Amino acid sequence: MLDRVRAAMPALPPAEQRVARLLLSDARSFATLPVVELAERAGVSKPTVVRFCRSVGYDGLADFKLKLAGSVNEGVPFVHRSVDSDDKPGDLIIKVIDNAVSALLKYRNAAAGHAVERAIAALVQAGRQQRRIEFYGVGNSGIVAQDAQHKFFRLGVSAHAVSDGHVQVMSATMLQPGDCAVIISNSGRSRDLFDVAEIAQRKGATVIVITASGSPLAHLAQQPGHVLLAADHPEDWDRYSPMVSRLLHLIIIDILTTGVALRMDGQALQPMLQEIKRNLRTRRYTPSN
């Protein structure tokens, strides 16, 4: 929201720009102060404050302040960055969804297309040559790795998800040049995954890392021959219940899956995917008439 306001400021009338500057100087206070005090601090009228909120795309001051609180509050520790303990279900819906949508749009605008292109190319080459594609993750990221395996194996490639630390080491040790190791980590600080990345590197496999930029894993992935798919988000990496990071990682997996499917001759995949659908349809319960 603050980025949107900064971008909109030059086009706002001078009085509304004063409201914007007040907001940007102390967003937390703006979310809690009554309209009378906001108007006094900005040196404008109360209707100007409301017009400002509408000028930047919201229904009014109440709508603006509700969504602003979801953007700037740290909320309940280790649960979600924008919720409060006394939030009603309607508030939770708005805050959780707005937080996720904001992070996804930010990633869309910041994603490095050249890195995604390199990752897709490496995965396509491994798939065409029937090489191994291993997805590594622990904890919450292990669930994302399982989702990646589920999506990739339907493309007819050798894809596996490994979440156990010991099995990850054994798996990485068996990698060879031409194989791909896709490492998924919210924090980029997991010792197990860092060790796996180094082993895969020594074995000559292409290492694709999905993690936060600036982390130890991200630095490792910046070496020649590796690919960093940076997924930065507003959650602390040690948050007990990461939500946005999981959504970003799942989105990245969807992007890679789609790119690989298109490059590996999507027309040729159609008959197999259709047959899978037909066979799955027979497994569904159909009540008798």
Between CA 69 and CA 205 the distance in angstroms is: 45
Model-wide pTM > 0.95:
no
pLDDT band of residue 13 (cuts 50, 70, 90) is very high
Give the range among 3-7, 24-28, 200-204, 285-289 with minimum mean pLDDT. 285-289
pLDDT band of residue 155 (cuts 50, 70, 90) is confident
How confident is the model at residue 27, as a pLDDT?
A: 85
pLDDT over threshold 60, residue 77:
no
How confident is the model at residue 276, as a pLDDT?
A: 76
Q: What is the mean pLDDT of residues 59-74?
A: 76
Token pair for 86? 């006394």
Domains of the chain: 1-71 (1.10.10.10), 113-280 (3.40.50.10490)
Residue 104 CB neighbour total at 10 angstroms: 15
Residue with tokens 């979801």: 70
pLDDT over threshold 60, residue 245:
yes
- Strands 227-230 and 206-211: what pairing? parallel
At 67-76, the pLDDT tens digits run: 787 666 544 4
Partners of 229 in the beta sheet? 210
Between CA 19 and CA 17 the distance in angstroms is: 5
pLDDT band of residue 236 (cuts 50, 70, 90) is low
Q: 20 vs 272, which has greater pLDDT?
A: 20
Between CA 150 and CA 165 the distance in angstroms is: 20
